[in-house]
Structure 1
Amino acid sequence: MQYVDVSHTRAYVSKSLHFHARAIRMAEKTDYEALAANLLKAELKRKGVTYAQLVERLNAIGVDEKEVNVRNKLSRGKFTAAFLLQCLSAIGSQTLHLG
């Protein structure tokens, strides 16, 4: 009778499952980032505000941003909740429609 050591295999499977679960959590985060970016883009469109105008309005309330940085943040969906609120305040949004 031949015995096979499966302890290494279990460790590999365990690591694979952990990685997969982590990838799913990362995907969920990306979904929320995309949602936040799309919500802000929709508000900009609804208000008729361009990225250049948004930058001007942000500067007017003391938020120093460049158009290319705003464009990249919205494209990637990588920005803070504070930035989202600053943008909404700058364009005069009182309410936000989530869906």
Structure 2
Amino acid sequence: PVRIGNAAALQLQLDVYGELMDALYLARKGGLAGDDASWRLQLALMTHLEDIWQLPDEGIWEVRGPSRHFTHSKVMAWVAFDRAVRSIEQFGVEGPLERWRAVRD
């Protein structure tokens, strides 16, 4: 149990973006209606991820010490871009399709 505080709150964990974008993509694919507010949030998250996905992070392991490049983190960042691209293609939401395809690729 956390006794003094959780250092993870101050850590960069890139995998979270992929987990969130995949969950929201699967929700839409499963028939849950998306709305403009949720897609605007996703656009903001993806715009931020474009700037940070190449940085080292603490990963799902919440390592102490210097940040590192974790394969899992990079794969999950790829998942985020893939689900953003698929959302535009399949659900007709607006976004920078070609730019995100390029980052994903």
Above 0.5 in TM-score?
Answer: no
Q: TM-score, normalised by structure 2?
A: 0.28
Greater Rg over alpha carbons, structure: 1
Q: TM-score, normalised by structure 1?
A: 0.29
Higher share of residues assigned helix: 1
